[in-house]
Amino acid sequence: MSDLNFVEKRAIEQCLGMGSGYVSDFSDRTFNEFIQDAVACNIDNGKYLSRGTSKANRLRSFFEAEPNHIVGSLVSALVEYVKSTPNRPSDETIATCERIAQRLKQSAPVLEHVVADTSEATFSALANSVKQAIETNMPQTGLDRLHTYFVTYLRQLCLTHGVDATRDEPAHSVLGKYLKYLKSNNHLESEMAEKILKYALGTMDPFNHVRNNQSLAHPNALLNYDEALLIYSHVVAVVRFIRAIEKRITTPSPAAAGGPDLPASPQR
């Protein structure tokens, strides 16, 4: 469930004109269609009827039932919509609700870590498509692109460090080469970190299977939502850690950067 507080709920309700049971100028049909398009949720689902059947009450129940990043995506879409209505809220109210939506969306499991470290348009588009899958609450539809993004990212890092990684190598092979590079160059400081990466390595072959048999890469039956979200979270945790390592590798120490030397220890 989202963690909207009383003040935030009140601001959103004011922005959307929810006081009399309505939501902006939506009819039941357009309200349902809008939410389906924005976050792929059926607002007529029984879990959104706990407060009543009016559009405003169903939306309040939605806010209580769904996680922050989904609520944030919907609030953002609704605010964008009401900007074009005859009864447009004040600029101050709109700005407040946009800040609320932004805060909520920051809790998404992948958004801030699925980032393309390249200027190549195709790779940037791939990263954006992975983000869109989680923003629209449909992680199942992005598993194939997440797999492609991850392998492409690892291969790019290998090439940056002079490690040969061909385009035909599967995810577990490329990650294995990258892990070997980290170990041989002493970029891992703890046995625990190494073991965690080896565990991640062991999940890459099953990830290949998911990509080939349970994603949109082929005409497959899609993996269920919860398992797809778990895979997203796992892969992104690995990406987050790798990005931290790469930042440490590429940031020179003060001594290497020509910084002041530390004073010598006094002789005894």
Distance CA 200, CA 192 (A): 12
Would you state the pLDDT for residue 150? 86
Average pLDDT over residues 42-66: 94
**Residue 57 in this model has a pLDDT that exceeds 60:** yes
pLDDT tens-digit series, residues 99-124: 999 888 876 554 344 444 444 455 56
**Residue 254 in this model has a pLDDT that exceeds 60:** no
Cα torsion through 230, 236, 241, 242, rounded to 10: 130
Residue environment code for 185-224, b if the CB has 16+ CB neighbours within 10 A, otherwise e: eeebeeeeeeeebeebbebbeebeebbeebbeeeeeeebe
**What average pLDDT does the chain have?**
83
How confident is residue 10, by pLDDT bands cut at 50, 70 and 90?
very high
pTM for the full model?
Answer: 0.54
pLDDT tens-digit series, residues 15-53: 999 988 999 999 999 999 999 999 888 999 999 999 999
CA dist list (Å): 71 to 53, 64, 105, 244, 254: 19, 9, 8, 29, 44
Would you state the pLDDT for residue 257? 47
**Residue 61 in this model has a pLDDT that exceeds 90:** yes
